[in-house]
Chain A
Amino acid sequence: MLSVKIKDTVFKNPILTASGTFGYGDEVGKFIDIEKLGGVVTKSVTLHPREGNPQPRIAETSSGMLNSIGLANLGVEEYCTSKLPYLNQLDTNFIINIAGYAIEDYVKTLQILESNNGSHSGYEINISCPNVKQGGMEFGVDPIMTEKLTKELRKHTNKILIMKLSPNVTKIEDIAKASEIGGADCISAINTLVGMGIDVKTRKPKINTVYGGLSGPAIKPIALANVHKIYKAISIPIIGLGGIQSAEDIVEFILAGADLIQIGTLNYKEPGIGVRLVSDLENYLHANNINSIADLKGNLNI
């Protein structure tokens, strides 16, 4: 009823956690049964460790939050030794999110992960981090660069290759198309929107890097519109994300054209929200006599 197949991988339900909002799974796994999730997407990993941006890195906004973490992470070597063993034994799928500065960084990081025999289902490629000078955004705003990067990564893996797109572009469907042509199996949309907050007492920006990435329910309508535009433009599967906090939100994303969804910012408020929404979604389908979640994809009355 809830299962979805992407390439050769079966996801027991369409609910994944969004990169950067669920760590490496082991932290939440201590007190939440994360194996009930369709999958976990781990925090962006880069070729070398990154210390990230100075504080303040986060700020609350109406129905959302701003962040500028700066891709702080332990680096791919440490990821393989200290995080993969835990993730490998999980009875659910996990997807490794990779960030980089140049094509070689992405490729090297992916090659190291490939050589470590992880049981991961695939890779989500972050070409859309708005918070670091070279966070992959030069790829994410340019269809030619996106296609080139996707093609290069495709050569090195048979696992699911997902490109995670930025909404901070003129036509997101062009980037999605370029990913599809480049050989991607799937698109994730959307990453955060560029936003700003100001402390009127100090007249300082609320985020050290002045601008940060806006996430949460505030961006859900924008995310839905982007998913729908992408759905009309391509034929590969889509993972929708942006402020999801209920089973109805999930259904909206699937009607807009998504196959899977991710829960992001809401994990901070309720670490077990993904697990809760698995049963909420099941109840929703029962109550509405829907046999399979896949039947809803793009099934919009316009």
Chain B
Amino acid sequence: MQSNIFQEQAKVVSTKQIADNTFETTLFSPDISGHVKPGQFINILPSNNWSYMMRRPMSVASQNSDCISIIYKVVGEGTRLMKGWSENQVVDILGPLGNFWTGYNEYEPILIGGGVGIAPIINLKNHLDSLSINCNLIMGSRTKNEHFLNHDPENGIYMTTDDGSLGIHGTVIDGLRLIHSNNNKQKIFACGPPGMMEAVKFFSDDNNVICDLAIETIMACGFGICQGCTVELNNTDTKKTSYRAKYALGCIDGPIFRAKDIKTCYL
């Protein structure tokens, strides 16, 4: 699946705040942007003097022929440095990595994003729009300041907030219940925090809806070397020990997994 990986010296085009503590940085990276598919990620070196051993993996949030963007909340040293990147600064990124969203042609897609997990969902939404594929999009957050899209049910765009300050008062599952029908034609594409993902997985198992989840894991290399980023699968053949059948790798077997195949979203 990974025929083309590039270690690219990308150039920072811009960084803008799009919601509360949420930033979108656009990078000029023609090698990666020319090959990345929605759902894939890059592994970022936050600075040349980065004293930690791990890059920071992030999903691509938008792409065109020359540029990609990433969306992140500032939570630690890496994202603090990233937010401070200056225009035209050169940054070292590795990608495109991992598998990508598939099967949106054969179904009525329902896209679900939450927290910083919105990035690969936004990229898929843009992709579907460009292909004129209709879809529903549900975005969940705690409160309206964390949202950067409008609640627009007429166009299939639903915002949910835990506190009811925007859109549907509740979680993405409340939005999903509104949209879900038993026509067996729908497919869920979701990415978000573990609790949200677990709820979506439970809903899809319960209602027999096909569902793909982009899973976030603790990761070092991003391309199958370190074997740190495991996702435990529902391996039925427990007697036979085999490589990657029980513990798949988030970076090369994922980040996208079929919901029914994985044991838990809490990693």
**CB contact under 8 A between A269 and B53, given known A21-B226, A49-B241, A58-B220:** yes
The docked-state distance in angstroms from the alpha carbon of A57 to that of B246 is 14
A60→B52 contact, CB < 8 A: yes
Stretch at the interface among A27-35, A106-114, A249-257, A283-291: A27-35
B224→A23 contact, CB < 8 A: yes
Q: Any chain B CB within 8 A of the CB of A97?
A: no
- Grouping DSSP codes into helix (H, G, I), strand (E, B) and loop, the B interface class, with mixed when no group exceeds half, is loop
A268→B51 contact, CB < 8 A: no
The docked-state distance in angstroms from the alpha carbon of A19 to that of B61 is 35
B53→A64 contact, CB < 8 A: yes
Q: Any chain B CB within 8 A of the CB of A51?
A: yes
B241→A50 contact, CB < 8 A: yes
Stretch at the interface among A68-76, A140-148, A223-231: A68-76
Q: Any chain B CB within 8 A of the CB of A221?
A: no
**CB contact under 8 A between A268 and B227, given known A51-B243, A51-B246, A59-B218:** no
**CB contact under 8 A between A72 and B228, given known A58-B218, A216-B53:** no
B224→A27 contact, CB < 8 A: yes
How many residues in A have their beta carbons less than 8 Å from beta carbons of B? 41
A22 cross-chain contacts in B, Cβ below 8 A: 225
- Kindly provide the distance from the CB of A182 to the nearest chain B CB, expressed in whole angstroms: 30
Q: Any chain B CB within 8 A of the CB of A298?
A: no
A216 cross-chain contacts in B, Cβ below 8 A: 53
Q: Any chain A CB within 8 A of the CB of B104?
A: no
B45 cross-chain contacts in A, Cβ below 8 A: 269-270
Q: Any chain A CB within 8 A of the CB of B148?
A: no
Q: Any chain A CB within 8 A of the CB of B201?
A: no
A58 cross-chain contacts in B, Cβ below 8 A: 54, 218, 220, 226, 228-229
The docked-state distance in angstroms from the alpha carbon of A72 to that of B253 is 15
With A21-B226, A269-B55 already in contact, 6 other A-B pairs whose C-beta atoms are closer than 8 Å: A23-B225, A57-B230, A58-B226, A60-B54, A63-B53, A72-B227
- Nearest neighbor of A55 in chain B, beta-carbon distance: B230
Residue of B227, B243, B247 touching A78 (CB-CB under 8 A): B243
Q: Any chain B CB within 8 A of the CB of A52?
A: yes
B200 cross-chain contacts in A, Cβ below 8 A: none
Q: Any chain B CB within 8 A of the CB of A246?
A: no
Interface residues of B in 48-70 (CB under 8 A from A): 50-55
The docked-state distance in angstroms from the alpha carbon of A64 to that of B90 is 25
- Nearest neighbor of B225 in chain A, beta-carbon distance: A23
Residue of A54, A60, A272 touching B232 (CB-CB under 8 A): A54
Q: Any chain B CB within 8 A of the CB of A267?
A: yes
A30 cross-chain contacts in B, Cβ below 8 A: 2-5
A48→B221 contact, CB < 8 A: no
A15 cross-chain contacts in B, Cβ below 8 A: none
Q: Any chain A CB within 8 A of the CB of B130?
A: no
Q: Any chain B CB within 8 A of the CB of A65?
A: yes
The docked-state distance in angstroms from the alpha carbon of A265 to that of B220 is 9
A59 cross-chain contacts in B, Cβ below 8 A: 218
A57→B228 contact, CB < 8 A: yes
- Kindly provide the distance from the CB of A105 to the nearest chain B CB, expressed in whole angstroms: 14
